[in-house]
Chain A
Amino acid sequence: MSKLKLIIHREFIAKVRNKSFLIMTFLSPVLIVVMGVLVVFLMKKNDEKVKEIVYVDASGLFTKENFKNSKTVKYQDYTALGLTETKKKVENGDFYGVLYIPKKDSLELLAKSIEFYSSDSPGMSLMNGLENRVETHLRNLKLTHFEIDLMQIKASEIASNIKMFNFSGEESSKLINGLKIAVGAIAGYLLMMFVMIYGTSVMRSVIEEKTSRIIEIIVSSVKPFQLMLGKIIGNASAGLLQFFIWGILLFVISIIASAVFGIDMVEMQASKIPQDQLNAAKEAVNPDKLQLILQEILRLPILKLFVLFIFYFLGGFFLYSSLFAAVGAAVDNETDTQQFMLPIMAPLVLGLYVGFATVMNDPHGPIATIFSILPFTSPIVMLMRVPFGVSWFELAISMALLIVTFVFMVWLAAKIYRVGILMYGKKPTYKDLYKWIKYKG
């Protein structure tokens, strides 16, 4: 047992002292935050740039009331100048673009014949804004035409916000649903990244021992299985360490960054949400709502999530890194690994896709449930489901299956590993691997 400890210690130290580990650990959170801040900063700058748009209204149906200036767009009436002249002005760069509303017999026809000219192709949000304005006004015109009182329509508008409960009495909201999706997706994605990065690191370490030929000296002192296990545990510890450091760093840096740049975090998050959700999020910015969000976050099963993340990370990592170790043992150099990498990567990527595709729409649907129980995808998919609340029964099956599978895979991989580390010169095929598994002792 103490030999295993020695190996774990060496692998851990070798990994942690590596320059790329240090850079990855301390630089990437800084980079992520800096990039985030930069994006928000640039978006803010972008929004501050005001676009000047002129309109030529041949129909005479629109008034200045319909084209009120907004924060980012200023409107001017150039109907008097006519379309041709106005277009020239736009071409000269005096204005961003010109909206042309022709004269038509019916509102329906008019709605389809409105044109916009500009030198650059306009962004989605600008066009949406313009279409909104036109549509609203034309609808109002139609309503008046049907002799419907606009005031009544306005008064009849009512917003419904269905509160969602589950049977453990937790209240949820759309906002927290979004949060759950985000948290689940980030956890699943992180897990996949960690498994891939540290799995290949196990593989590299095996190949290094093989090519440097120290392997024969080591296995004359310890069992190959101990060595493989030590490698996997050592790398997993390094991975967990990195994860913790990232967590702490991200927390600290984002606090500092938000203080320095004066960008509050809610706005930063809001900027990533599409236009139509923006209003809802903006509403949320007032202090009461902010407190609510914090409450909602705190109400997420954070401890459960954390513990399960660690469990599924370790389970998934053991499962996959034993395969990576077997591949590393089978080949002589890294270029030969490719043929064996695909079957390892495929379930990982599948897990991520299934997670993104199904869990978000229907976290408890059959596909999400099945994939969160199947051992090769369960670490990713289950983590994505956990924020939505998964029954203990399903969790227990998923965890038990994962444990059984990783024990089996570690055992199987050890058989390939044991033979492979002493084989040189030949690029093995799957048939060879199968033969190795059958070797005795």
Chain B
Amino acid sequence: MDNLLEIKNVVKTYGDFTALNNVSLTIPKGSVFGLLGPNGAGKTSLIRIINQITMQDAGDVYFDGKLLAPNDVEHIGYMPEERGLYKSMKVGEQALYLAQLKGLSKSEAKKRLKYWFDKFDISAWWDKKIEELSKGMAQKVQFIVTVMHKPKLLIFDEPFSGFDPINAQLIAKEILQLRDEGATIIFSTHRMESVEEMCDYIALIDQSNKILEGKLDDIKRAFRTNTFQVGVATSNLKEVEERLRQLYKVSTADFKIINEGLKLNITLKEGENPNDLLSFLTSQGHVQHFVELVPDANEIFMQAVNKNI
């Protein structure tokens, strides 16, 4: 087990307000880790602690096996939710400056910037000021300055906000490629469809507490209810439904299939085999639809948060 970041029993308070209450997280190397939670849950506080913008009141943060140290900022790239660049500074100068603050030499920074500017096809913007760029253009620059020093850990807070779908796709691809090249990615968002698409692990923070953490697949498994959505085309609808209601917990479902027929959600009890259900259905008619209802990240999020209230 190789973890890039281990957060152990971290507490952060602002005066009387507790922003993080004994939060522990383990972020495996090379993963995309989704940090989820409603607004004000404590995500930003945690991210700021990892970035050493603020210090925790108690608890420890281990980075690559060692206690987090000031120099580690050079191995972390952070794109905050509220994007920001110097408006009246030229794009190139600004990127160079930020790269040097992250510990790159000027010549190395220039080389890497050229690579990224070419890749995104924005070399022509080098001498433009940020205030002359559109929001989407500035976002691209922002992305580059976040990743150009090849950090071991990348933290994206709502990375897709402000991007149109095409550019969001481009950025998502780049993020996954960075992961494939060895970077570990923390991904803070409320946009659950992107979580589904990108994250290997997730943690859910709500009201300053961590309420859920693990592999996305495992969590999904834990949250699944053994419910199947079935669609059967049969001549004697009523009879089949009656039989099913006797055997299982059944509710009506609404989805679209080509031929109208019986549409139900069927929840199996502990120890019941979906194969038995399927063979029963096959014997009754023509099975057109048979899908296990696995909760998506959004439902898990809603369920977990509601349970926590």
- Given A213-B80, A218-B101; A435-B57 close (CB under 8 Å): no
Query: B168 interface residue, CB < 8 Å from A?
Result: no
3 closest Cβ pairs, A-B complex: A441-B55, A213-B84, A214-B84
Binds A, one of B1-9, B28-36, B46-54, B233-241: B46-54
Query: B116 interface residue, CB < 8 Å from A?
Result: no
User: Could you give, for residues 89-112 of chain B, a 1 whenever the CB lies within 8 Å of some chain A CB and a 0 otherwise?
Assistant: 100000001101110000000000
Query: B86 interface residue, CB < 8 Å from A?
Result: yes
User: Could you give, for residues 209-234 of chain A, a 1 whenever the CB lies within 8 Å of some chain B CB and a 0 otherwise?
Assistant: 10011111111111110000000000
Query: A3 interface residue, CB < 8 Å from B?
Result: yes
User: Could you give, for residues 170-213 of chain A, a 1 whenever the CB lies within 8 Å of some chain B CB and a 0 otherwise?
Assistant: 00000000000000000000000000000000000000110011
Query: A146 interface residue, CB < 8 Å from B?
Result: no
A3 to B73, CA, bound (A): 12
Query: A10 interface residue, CB < 8 Å from B?
Result: yes
A207 to B87, CA, bound (A): 13
Query: B242 interface residue, CB < 8 Å from A?
Result: no
Checking B48, B76, B87 against A422 with a beta-carbon cut-off of 8 angstroms, the contacting residue is B48
User: Could you give, for residues 238-257 of chain A, a 1 whenever the CB lies within 8 Å of some chain B CB and a 0 otherwise?
Assistant: 00000000000000000000
Could you write out 9 A-B pairs with CB less than 8 Å apart? A6-B97, A209-B84, A215-B84, A216-B53, A216-B78, A220-B78, A224-B53, A422-B54, A441-B56
For window 51-69 of B, CB contacts with A under 8 Å fall at: 51-57
Residues of A within 8 A of B56 (CB): 441
B55 A440 Cβ-Cβ under 8 A: yes
Residues of B within 8 A of A215 (CB): 84
A219 to B55, CA, bound (A): 13
- Given A214-B86, A221-B73; A6-B15 close (CB under 8 Å): no
- Given A214-B85, A435-B15, A440-B55; A222-B101 close (CB under 8 Å): yes
User: Could you give, for residues 412-440 of chain A, a 1 whenever the CB lies within 8 Å of some chain B CB and a 0 otherwise?
Assistant: 00000000001000000000000100011
- Given A14-B89, A441-B54, A441-B56; A216-B100 close (CB under 8 Å): no
Query: B14 interface residue, CB < 8 Å from A?
Result: yes
Checking A7, A216, A222 against B82 with a beta-carbon cut-off of 8 angstroms, the contacting residue is A216
A6 to B82, CA, bound (A): 24
Query: B216 interface residue, CB < 8 Å from A?
Result: no
Residues of B at the A interface (CB closer than 8 Å) are: 14-15, 48, 51-57, 70, 73, 76, 78-80, 82-89, 97-98, 100-102, 145
List 16 extra interface pairs beyond A209-B84, A217-B78, CB under 8 A.
A212-B84, A216-B78, A216-B80, A217-B79, A217-B80, A220-B52, A221-B73, A221-B98, A221-B101, A221-B102, A222-B73, A222-B101, A224-B53, A422-B48, A422-B53, A440-B57
Residues of B within 8 A of A7 (CB): 101
A441 B57 Cβ-Cβ under 8 A: yes
Residues of A within 8 A of B145 (CB): 217
Residues of A within 8 A of B48 (CB): 422
A441 to B45, CA, bound (A): 13
Residues of B within 8 A of A214 (CB): 84-86
A212 to B80, CA, bound (A): 12
Residues of B within 8 A of A213 (CB): 80, 82-84
Residues of B within 8 A of A3 (CB): 101
CB distance from A14 to the nearest CB of B (A): 7
A223 to B51, CA, bound (A): 11
A20 to B100, CA, bound (A): 28
> Which residue of B has the minimal Cβ distance to A13?
B93
Residues of A at the B interface (CB closer than 8 Å) are: 3, 6-7, 10, 14, 208-209, 212-224, 422, 435, 439-441
CB distance from A389 to the nearest CB of B (A): 47
Residues of B within 8 A of A212 (CB): 84-87
A10 B97 Cβ-Cβ under 8 A: yes
A272 to B85, CA, bound (A): 51
A208 to B52, CA, bound (A): 22
CB distance from B157 to the nearest CB of A (A): 9
A221 to B71, CA, bound (A): 9
Residues of A within 8 A of B82 (CB): 213, 216
A220 B89 Cβ-Cβ under 8 A: no
A281 to B87, CA, bound (A): 55
> Which residue of A has the minimal Cβ distance to B83?
A213
Q: Looking at A7, A214, A215, A435, which has the most chain B CB atoms within 10 Å of its CB?
A: A214
A217 B55 Cβ-Cβ under 8 A: no
CB distance from A21 to the nearest CB of B (A): 13
Residues of B within 8 A of A209 (CB): 84, 86
CB distance from A100 to the nearest CB of B (A): 70
B98 A217 Cβ-Cβ under 8 A: yes
A220 B55 Cβ-Cβ under 8 A: no
CB distance from B153 to the nearest CB of A (A): 11
Residues of B within 8 A of A222 (CB): 73, 101
> Which residue of A has the minimal Cβ distance to B80?
A216
> Which residue of A has the minimal Cβ distance to B50?
A220
A42 to B211, CA, bound (A): 82
B101 A6 Cβ-Cβ under 8 A: yes
A439 to B45, CA, bound (A): 14
> Which residue of A has the minimal Cβ distance to B79?
A217
CB distance from B72 to the nearest CB of A (A): 11
A220 B76 Cβ-Cβ under 8 A: yes
A212 to B84, CA, bound (A): 5
Checking B53, B57, B83, B86 against A219 with a beta-carbon cut-off of 8 angstroms, the contacting residue is B53
A213 to B79, CA, bound (A): 11
A7 to B82, CA, bound (A): 22
Checking B54, B84, B88 against A217 with a beta-carbon cut-off of 8 angstroms, the contacting residue is B84
Q: Looking at A7, A216, A439, which has the most chain B CB atoms within 10 Å of its CB?
A: A216
> Which residue of B has the minimal Cβ distance to A5?
B100
A7 to B48, CA, bound (A): 21
A220 to B146, CA, bound (A): 11
A216 B76 Cβ-Cβ under 8 A: no
A216 B84 Cβ-Cβ under 8 A: yes
Q: Looking at B53, B56, B85, which has the most chain A CB atoms within 10 Å of its CB?
A: B53
Residues of A within 8 A of B57 (CB): 440-441
A220 B84 Cβ-Cβ under 8 A: no
CB distance from A156 to the nearest CB of B (A): 75
A91 to B138, CA, bound (A): 75
CB distance from A417 to the nearest CB of B (A): 13
B97 A220 Cβ-Cβ under 8 A: no
A266 to B76, CA, bound (A): 65
A215 to B78, CA, bound (A): 12
A209 to B85, CA, bound (A): 8
A439 to B97, CA, bound (A): 30
> Which residue of A has the minimal Cβ distance to B77?
A220
A220 B51 Cβ-Cβ under 8 A: yes
> Which residue of A has the minimal Cβ distance to B70?
A223
